[in-house]
Amino acid sequence: MKSTAKIIIVLTLITVISGAVLAVLDAYTKPRIDAYKNKIRNEAVSQVLPENVKIETINKADQTFYKASKNEEVVGYAFQVSGGGYQSELVLMVGVTADFSKIIAAKILSQVETPGLGTKIENDPSNKEDPSWFVDQFKNLSVAPAITYVKNVKPSKDNEIQAITGATISSAAVVSVLNKGIEKFKAIIQE
């Protein structure tokens, strides 16, 4: 009985000390992590909207989005969308025209897809001339009707992109995340 009590006390102390150390580390690192995420998000907003615009942050319906204006005229919106990929959550920043007819640009903020296959949605090292070819396909892409993808052929419609060979699930996930996110924010913004 004595040895059992000692083991329980020792394990309890280890647990309490470990928890305290983790709490202190979290309190120290959380502000830095949040500041870094804000920096990345702000850079992404600038990259998916036209140049030389006034960007205004708007909170509506518990969502944050960014309105781009030039000479008091709204030229586009940017917002963060997310959803499930093949093996991770995909987080993207997308910029759309003011009438929600086209994507201005899209940027992948976070993904942990299969190395060498799914990660090509962000950077394709096998394509030396244009490693960001996949995400670049979304520039000026029509979103009405909904975005679709084709396999092993060049896109023939204004709303099509070419899926990555060997990573069709990740490609389809990006398309799905964008379609759902654009519809969601279109409803919120046009309310």
Amino acid type, 47 = Q
Is the pTM above the cut of 0.75? yes
Whole-number pLDDT of residue 169: 87
Which residue, chain included where needed, has tokens 């070419």?
A: 162
In whole angstroms, what is the distance from residue 96 CA to residue 115 CA? 29
Task: Please say if the pLDDT value at position 1 is more than 80.
Answer: no
pLDDT band at residue 93, thresholds of 50, 70 and 90?
Answer: very high
CB 119 within 8 A of CB 131: no
- Reported as a single tens digit per residue, the pLDDT across 22-41 is 999 999 999 999 999 889 88
CB 170 within 8 A of CB 114: yes
Task: Please say if the pLDDT value at position 180 is more than 90.
Answer: yes
Per the prediction, the chain carries an average pLDDT of 89
In whole angstroms, what is the distance from residue 31 CA to residue 125 CA? 33
Measure Cα distances from 188 to 61, 64, 182, 184, 191 in Å. 7, 10, 10, 6, 5
- Reported as a single tens digit per residue, the pLDDT across 103-132 is 999 999 988 887 877 788 887 887 888 888
